[in-house]
């Protein structure tokens, strides 16, 4: 009996000596999250490396015509030449200025309008018929119209980018406001929150994830439409560079411009993802 008591006492002592730290669970969660992120990045890097390896090998072994698809190393060499000569920066800065201007104007227009339409039924009933007409019109179909109205200068290019970016921003903002859990709204009203405070403390935070989806889509649309807009009447820009290189059969230079556009789109998307995580830290991951 004494041996049993002694063993029980020893076990209790060990449990008391090695308690589980309250910070252990959060640290473990952060570690698992870091591992998941690292694994995801590794898979993406491997995928890109496989693509680049195929791009390098297939033209060299004759699987594709290297005249029309030169090896990646030749394209990379041309990219470095453009960078050192200053041409790449000139065209990139022109494109980024147009894309950023159109994107910013679209946010200034679409976010307030989307919040108003999503929150006030009267505004929705008044504007919805007009929006339904224009939302189904492809931006590139209106490019000749914008050129006729604004000319071949910068205004028409920025205007078409604004038009393309407004729709994902507007529709996702409306969806985010309308998708707020009614129980949250009812609970907030029962606590005596005014309409302004309700909108500020409940509606807007709950709609932020959906709004950021629209922002990311708008960022992608800005780059896509930018290239098409720069094919018409532009004297600088990555779209102009790609078109000029293709017209002069400078194929490596053309692909260098395409790679730059793709890299810019990737950087913008990752930056917006980081910004979204910054503003939605309160969300709990599904597998947390």
Question: Roughly how many angstroms between the first and final C-alpha of the chain, as a whole number?
Answer: 46
Mean pLDDT across 125-147: 85
Residue 35 has pLDDT above 70, yes or no: no
At residue 205, the pLDDT reads 82
Other beta carbons within 10 Å of 64: 14
pLDDT band at 164 (very low <50, low <70, confident <90, very high): very high
What is the average pLDDT score of the chain? 82
At residue 44, the pLDDT reads 72
Residue 51 has pLDDT above 90, yes or no: no
Which two structure tokens, joined as six digits, stand for 94? Answer: 């022109």
- HSE-CB at 135 with a 13 A cutoff on CA atoms is 14
Residue 288 has pLDDT above 60, yes or no: no
Task: Give the separation between CA 180 and CA 205, rounded to whole angstroms.
Answer: 9
Task: Give the separation between CA 254 and CA 238, rounded to whole angstroms.
Answer: 9
Residues 166-213 pLDDT 10s: 999 999 999 988 888 788 777 877 787 777 777 777 888 888 889 999
Helix (H) or strand (E) holding 59: helix 24-60
Percent of the chain with pLDDT strictly greater than 70: 83
At residue 282, the pLDDT reads 61
Higher pLDDT: 40 or 265? It is: 265
At residue 39, the pLDDT reads 63
Report which of 267, 172, 270, 160 is spatially closest to residue 224, judged by C-alpha positions: 160
Task: Give the separation between CA 42 and CA 254, rounded to whole angstroms.
Answer: 29
Lowest mean pLDDT among 130-139, 151-160, 251-260: 130-139
Task: Give the separation between CA 20 and CA 207, rounded to whole angstroms.
Answer: 38
Q: Is residue 233 within 8 Å of 152, Cβ to Cβ?
A: yes
Higher pLDDT: 66 or 110? It is: 110
Residue 6 has pLDDT above 50, yes or no: no
Mean pLDDT across 221-246: 88
At residue 84, the pLDDT reads 92
Q: Is residue 236 within 8 Å of 91, Cβ to Cβ?
A: yes
Lowest mean pLDDT among 16-20, 28-32, 257-261: 16-20
- HSE-CB at 123 with a 13 A cutoff on CA atoms is 10
Superfamily of 70-279 according to CATH:
MetI-like (1.10.3720.10)
Residue 99 has pLDDT above 90, yes or no: yes
- Please give the model's pTM, rounded to 2 decimal places: 0.77
The secondary structure of the chain in percent helix, strand, coil, rounded to multiples of 5, reads 80, 0, 20
């Amino acid at each position: 009996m004494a041996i049993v008591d002694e063993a029980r006492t020893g076990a209790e002592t060990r449990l008391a000596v090695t308690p589980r730290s309250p910070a252990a669970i959060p640290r473990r969660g952060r570690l698992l999250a870091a591992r998941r992120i690292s694994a995801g990045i590794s898979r993406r890097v491997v995928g890109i490396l496989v693509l680049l390896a195929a791009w390098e090998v297939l033209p060299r072994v004759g699987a594709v015509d290297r005249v029309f698809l030169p090896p990646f190393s030749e394209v990379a060499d041309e990219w470095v030449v453009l960078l050192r000569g200053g041409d790449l920066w000139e065209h990139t800065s022109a494109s980024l200025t147009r894309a950023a201007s159109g994107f910013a104007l679209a946010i200034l227009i679409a976010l307030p309008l989307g919040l108003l339409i999503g929150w006030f039924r009267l505004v929705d009933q008044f504007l919805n018929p007009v929006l339904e007409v224009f939302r189904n019109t492809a931006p590139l179909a209106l490019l000749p119209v914008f050129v006729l109205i604004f000319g071949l200068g910068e205004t028409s290019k920025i205007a078409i980018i604004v038009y393309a970016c407004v729709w994902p921003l507007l529709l996702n903002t409306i969806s985010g406001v309308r998708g707020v859990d009614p129980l949250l709204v009812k609970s907030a009203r029962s606590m005596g929150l005014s309409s302004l405070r309700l909108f500020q403390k409940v509606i807007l935070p709950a709609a932020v994830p959906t709004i950021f989806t629209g922002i990311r889509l708008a960022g992608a649309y800005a780059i896509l439409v930018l290239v098409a807009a720069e094919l018409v009447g532009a004297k600088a820009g990555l779209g102009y560079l790609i078109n000029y290189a293709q017209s002069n059969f400078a194929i490596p230079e053309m692909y260098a411009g395409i790679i730059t556009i793709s890299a810019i789109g990737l950087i913008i998307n990752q930056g917006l993802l980081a910004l979204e995580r910054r503003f939605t830290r309160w969300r709990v991951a599904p597998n947390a």
